[in-house]
Chain A
């Protein structure tokens, strides 16, 4: 079946540094990838939609200069948290569509970011 690999699974960084999270579709071409953020006890909140070869579409309230998304190939999308601050500490998870229909999502396992 479809597999999406997300790395790193957890990362700790200092304030002011940038962190890159990768999301790879291993056995299918992902035409669209989605990035979500989850705060404790809350639902997955869509941050942005990433289409291969074009600029990402950000949801209202998500700073595009803070959360840089690149979808350079049909199998890789990256999320870079720039100049990270403690309030950026969260759980980030990606999903990809393109396998078994456009409306069926395959998720990565998520990345836990802690900014000191």
Chain B
């Protein structure tokens, strides 16, 4: 059974700092990996999707990497801003033919002005 772990559960950084969020998964046979952001009282917003054949994806100040063989992904946030404060979740899609996502429990990020 696939398990997704995100460490740390919470992170507090000063504004302007670059930071890395970590995600690990136990079964490397994945179809893709997705990073989401969740604001309090809201649903999840998709940030980046990395297909299993890709190594990284970039969107603005966000860069996500994927190392399938080691079962790891990182989300890099450059020049953090208070508006980046949210919970970040990663999820892996099981395989071709299955749409099921297995989620980590998230890292709660606080960016202090």
- A and B: real partners? no
| Chain A residues within 8 Å of B, Cβ to Cβ | none
| Chain B residues within 8 Å of A, Cβ to Cβ | none
